[in-house]
Amino acid sequence: MKFSRYSLTYLATYLTLGGLGFLFIPTQFSKLLFSNVTYQEIPLRLAGMFSLLLGIVVVQIVRHQLEVLYPTSLVARFVGLIALLVFYFNTHNPMFLTLSVIVTIGFVATIASFILEKRQFKL
């Protein structure tokens, strides 16, 4: 599951860096993601804290090669992607679209990895 591991490294990276961004520079980071609204800093910092914590867990999943949890990451990202799209349609804030694109890239990469790796085992 070499390719899946790489796609999860992408997940760990954006969760960790995004978490740090929202935790330490929330207003500036939301503007970097094209937000058209200025949110209160505490909820953004809270989201950053949870993103950073989840990123740490994913780093450990990748580090210890816990392949049994790789499919769970797909389910979690699918739920998160649906939530981000609902947030976008409720607020029309481009930040949620930007985050959706970031999550979709990793989601598609992991699905493609699974397909490639399943084909390799059949040969």
pLDDT at 2: 81
pLDDT at 86: 98
- Digits of tens for pLDDT over the chain (123 positions)? 788 889 999 999 999 999 999 999 999 999 999 999 999 999 999 999 999 999 999 999 999 999 999 999 999 999 999 999 999 999 999 999 999 999 999 999 999 998 888 887 665
Q: Is the dihedral of CA 97, 100, 105, 111 positive or negative?
A: negative
pLDDT at 3: 83
The ranges assigned to domains in the chain are 2-122
Q: Is 0.85 topped by the overall pTM? A: yes
pLDDT at 22: 98
pLDDT at 70: 92
pLDDT at 123: 53
Integer CA distances (angstroms), 86 to 46, 90, 94, in order: 20, 6, 12
pLDDT at 45: 98
CB atoms within 10 A of CB 120: 10
pLDDT at 94: 98
Are the CB atoms for 48 and 21 separated by under 8 Å? yes
Are the CB atoms for 30 and 41 separated by under 8 Å? no
CB atoms within 10 A of CB 60: 12
